């Protein structure tokens, strides 16, 4: 039996605001934490002792957030229901020695992060955002969300072959300009200090990245599409946070609902804030211990735990339908997708399919299947990592989009709230 939908197009409007306000993983988790705080969740520091009280809690570490809600009556062996996602997106990130230039232009030295579509960063107005590390050990977020930088493409008059095969050298051709004149050491730090209201001498390090300043927008004759940056995978982070908050207000729950949003998925998840690191396992185990449990309770809880790994997938491309599996053509606004790969690039199996289908049925949400074309290599997600590292049954799902890993991606305007409704039904089951 389906339940009334919690979310509608207003959720998609809110997603657009969330994307615009979250140019980096650090901003994304700060914005998610603010929403959780408003819903009554309380931040825990990893260096503090944790209590076993009920209610909502969350932990922030860098660009990752783990949040959970302990319902009344939960025991140390109560299983978890986890929505997994990631906060990072492919982009251009500032190098340790940033001030550079050539031929009378001032530029910022950048490194390519993840598998970005390089050409989508060309001739685009770019801002600069990230995290500043201060000499006193604290950090400060900074967001210069206005046109500052541009990676200029070579004019077609100087590259007659540009339209028959653009070739970009990652080192030579992707350096943004941000002014005229000779580069001066300290230019960028001085600028960032002024933006953040700091003394330049206080800045000891940074994690900075560029972003498109063009805001998200509805697209299409009937506004049935949403274009915007970082949908892979802030769309899932936003939906997961909304679903966790909704589940926390649902009353008695047989499980402990969890949102686990990791950093560094786009380069393999191997970090202290990535899915292949210890963060999730540490948080779940400490939650069990805080409620008076031990290793046996943790093992029992994990044995009954389920995880939905939510990440974007590929909608069928109208100009390249041959690149897709002929029998599986996910469409925008067709509902979330179930991602399957028998070689375990996705963690879904038949029992996972049944779990996901049941959640969608309870939410009254349509869903679709995604399988890669056998001749096209399949990507992967945090799903197999979560399953293997923690021994947790995991199902890979997501939303079908176009232009994945572009500076600006495209999804159906209904799919974000359909996903949020399905995730809510999963967390409440």
Say how far apart CA 58 and CA 45 lie, in whole Å: 9
The answer to whether 68 touches 56, Cβ cutoff 8 Å, is: yes
Burial (CB count <10 Å: 0-12, 13-18, 19+), residue 219: middle
Task: Report residue 265 as tokens.
Answer: 């998925």
Measuring CA to CA, which residue among 80, 49, 78 is closest to residue 66? Answer: 80
Measuring CA to CA, which residue among 23, 188, 19 is closest to residue 106? Answer: 188
Say how far apart CA 56 and CA 258 lie, in whole Å: 10
Please report, for residues 77, 292, 316, 328, 331, the alpha-carbon distance to residue 322 in angstroms, rounded to integers and kept in the order given.
48, 56, 9, 11, 15
Measuring CA to CA, which residue among 89, 112, 129 is closest to residue 230? Answer: 89
Pick the CATH number of 9-89+229-428 from 3.40.50.2300, 3.30.1330.40, 3.40.630.10, 3.40.50.300: 3.40.630.10
The answer to whether 110 touches 250, Cβ cutoff 8 Å, is: no
pLDDT in tens, the chain (429 residues): 445 568 999 999 999 999 999 999 999 999 999 999 999 999 999 999 999 999 999 999 999 999 999 999 999 999 999 999 999 999 999 999 999 999 999 999 999 999 999 999 999 999 999 999 999 999 999 999 999 999 999 999 999 988 998 999 999 999 999 999 999 999 999 999 999 999 999 999 999 999 999 999 999 999 999 999 999 999 999 999 999 999 999 888 999 999 999 999 999 999 999 999 999 999 999 999 999 999 999 999 999 999 999 999 999 999 999 999 999 999 999 999 999 999 999 999 999 999 999 999 999 999 999 999 999 999 999 999 999 999 999 999 999 999 999 999 999 999 999 999 999 999 999
Question: For residue 404, what pLDDT is reported?
Answer: 98
C-alpha torsion sign, points 36, 38, 41, 46: positive
Question: What percentage of the chain's residues is helix, strand, coil (to nearest 5)?
Answer: 30, 30, 40
Domain ranges of the chain: 9-89+229-428, 91-212
The end-to-end CA distance of the chain, in Å, is 12
Q: At CA 76, angle to CA 71 and CA 79, rounded to 5?
A: 65
Which stretches does DSSP call E strand in 333-386? 337-339, 368-370
Question: For residue 282, what pLDDT is reported?
Answer: 98
User: If you count them, how many residues does the chain have?
Assistant: 429
The answer to whether 181 touches 156, Cβ cutoff 8 Å, is: no
Question: For residue 114, what pLDDT is reported?
Answer: 97
Considering the domain delimited by 91-212, tell me its CATH architecture: Roll (2.30)
> Tokens 């041959």, residue?
322
Say how far apart CA 33 and CA 25 lie, in whole Å: 12
Task: Quote the pTM value.
Answer: 0.97
Question: For residue 6, what pLDDT is reported?
Answer: 85
DSSP annotation of 313 reads E
The answer to whether 388 touches 382, Cβ cutoff 8 Å, is: no
Give the relative orientation of helices 382-390 and 279-290 as an angle to the nearest 10 degrees. 50
Say how far apart CA 40 and CA 361 lie, in whole Å: 29
Question: For residue 251, what pLDDT is reported?
Answer: 80
DSSP annotation of 176 reads P
């Amino acid at each position: 039996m389906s339940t009334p939908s919690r979310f509608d197009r207003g959720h998609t409007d809110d997603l657009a605001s969330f994307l615009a306000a979250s140019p980096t993983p650090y901003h994304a988790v700060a914005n998610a934490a603010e929403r959780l705080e408003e819903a009554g969740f309380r931040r825990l520091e990893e260096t503090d002792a944790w209590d076993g009280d009920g209610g909502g809690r969350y932990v922030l570490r860098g660009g990752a957030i783990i949040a959970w809600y302990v319902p009344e009556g939960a025991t140390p062996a109560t299983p978890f229901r986890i929505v997994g996602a990631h906060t990072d997106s492919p982009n251009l990130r500032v190098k340790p020695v940033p001030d550079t230039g050539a031929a009378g232009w001032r530029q910022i030295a950048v490194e390519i992060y993840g598998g970005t579509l390089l050409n989508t960063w060309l001739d685009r107005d770019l801002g600069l955002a990230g995290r500043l590390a201060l000499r006193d050990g604290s950090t400060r977020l900074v967001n210069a969300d206005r046109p500052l930088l541009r990676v200029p493409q070579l004019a077609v008059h100087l590259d007659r072959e540009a339209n028959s095969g653009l070739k970009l050298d990652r080192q030579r051709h992707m350096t943004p300009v941000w002014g005229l004149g000779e580069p001066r050491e300290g230019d960028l730090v001085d600028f960032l200090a002024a933006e953040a209201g700091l003394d330049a001498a206080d800045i000891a390090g940074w994690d900075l990245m560029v972003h498109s300043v063009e805001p998200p927008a509805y697209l299409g004759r009937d506004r049935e599409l949403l274009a915007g940056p970082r949908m892979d995978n802030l769309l899932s982070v936003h939906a997961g946070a909304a679903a966790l908050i909704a589940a926390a207000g649902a009353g008695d729950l047989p499980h402990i609902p969890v949102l686990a949003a990791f950093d560094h998925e786009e380069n393999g998840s191997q970090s202290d804030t990535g899915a292949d690191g210890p963060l999730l396992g540490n948080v779940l185990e400490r939650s069990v211990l805080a409620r008076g449990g031990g290793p046996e309770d943790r093992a029992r809880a994990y044995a009954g735990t389920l995880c939905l790994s939510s990440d974007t997938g590929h909608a069928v491309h109208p100009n390249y339908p041959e690149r897709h599996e002929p029998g599986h053509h996910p469409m925008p606004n067709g509902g979330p997708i179930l991602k399957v790969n028998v070689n375990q690039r996705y963690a879904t199996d038949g029992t996972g399919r049944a779990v996901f289908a049941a959640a969608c049925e309870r939410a009254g949400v349509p869903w679709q299947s995604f399988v890669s074309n056998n001749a096209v290599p399949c990507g992967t997600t945090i799903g197999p990592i979560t399953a293997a590292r923690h021994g947790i049954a995991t199902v890979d799902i997501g939303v079908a989009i176009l232009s994945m890993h572009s500076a600006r991606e495209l999804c159906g305007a209904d799919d974000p709230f359909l996903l949020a409704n399905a995730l809510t039904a999963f967390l409440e089951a």
